[in-house]
Structure 1
């Protein structure tokens, strides 16, 4: 099998494992996410903390270092909009796909909102209203 085929297979297997895990811990369930955002159940927050802890350990073991850089001006407003969208829709960009696969049809609206948001970011970036860097949604 060629390297590209192996990479595709590895990505497919990791994606399936991630989708399964996300579904099992409740990230695809709108009610579960709503309980997290309304602080009725902190289990999801602990899942996030566990994920961050695993990444910190992995980065330390792999000796991943980043140079200290100034935070891009769009990070904070972008994070706020992302959080608001996530709280309203019950899903960040990957979750609506998991929800749709599980039969939750309102996820189509979330996916449409993601597409509109990316298009708006590209539009704003093309008019100089938004600084869009290569590799971001508009790059």
Structure 2
């Protein structure tokens, strides 16, 4: 069993490496982020697809099975809202943290939106989709 401190340190170091890399290649920039979901530039889109291919290959190699094979009723509307939010705010959940660390303080509004969105997801999942709160992340 791993120590809690070791896991936290590994997460911290991995997060710092990710934040540094994302900032260094320009993916923490609002304009760059906004060009992907609006299909103005394919650079980030290709990076996302590349990451999906890599993780899918690793999951297949390790025989990792996720999900029950059926889409949750909130996946499609959630994906649409996520895409719209990304296009407007220029950030998926991790990027605003990188933006704030880089001194881009308007990203605090995006972080507040993420918190409100997760809270709304918890509420809607229980009320409309009859699922547990764990399906919302966060």
Query: Which bracket does the TM-score occupy, shorter chain normalised?
Result: 0.7 to 0.9
SS of residue matched to 1:119:
helix
State the shift of 1:84 in Å: 0.4
Distance (Å, rounded) in 1 between the aligned partners of 2:113 and 2:68: 33
Taking only aligned residues, the RMSD between alpha carbons, in angstroms, comes to: 2.1
- The answer on whether the counterparts of 2:23 and 2:98 sit within 8 Å (CA) in structure 1 is yes
Aligned pair 1:131/2:127, yes or no? no
Measured against aligned partners, the alpha-carbon deviations of 1:47-89 in whole angstroms (never above 9, x if no partner) come to 0111011102211221213465211110000000011001000
User: Where do residues 1-139 of structure 1 align in structure 2 (5 Å cutoff)?
Assistant: 3-66=3-66, 69-125=69-125, 128-137=127-136
- The answer on whether the counterparts of 1:121 and 1:130 sit within 8 Å (CA) in structure 2 is no
- The answer on whether the counterparts of 1:132 and 1:138 sit within 8 Å (CA) in structure 2 is no
Q: Which has the higher contact order (CA 8 A, sep 6+)?
A: 2
TM-score (norm 1): 0.86
- The answer on whether the counterparts of 1:93 and 1:114 sit within 8 Å (CA) in structure 2 is yes
- The answer on whether the counterparts of 2:36 and 2:44 sit within 8 Å (CA) in structure 1 is yes
Q: Which moved more, 1:40-49 or 1:59-68?
A: 59-68
Where in structure 2 are there 5+ consecutive unaligned residues? Answer: none
TM-score (norm 2): 0.86
**Cα distance change, pair 83–122 in 1 and its aligned pair in 2 (3 A):** same
The count of residues paired between Structure 1 and Structure 2 equals 137
Where in structure 1 are there 5+ consecutive unaligned residues? Answer: none
**Cα distance change, pair 75–29 in 1 and its aligned pair in 2 (3 A):** same
State the shift of 1:4 in Å: 1.4
- The answer on whether the counterparts of 2:125 and 2:132 sit within 8 Å (CA) in structure 1 is no
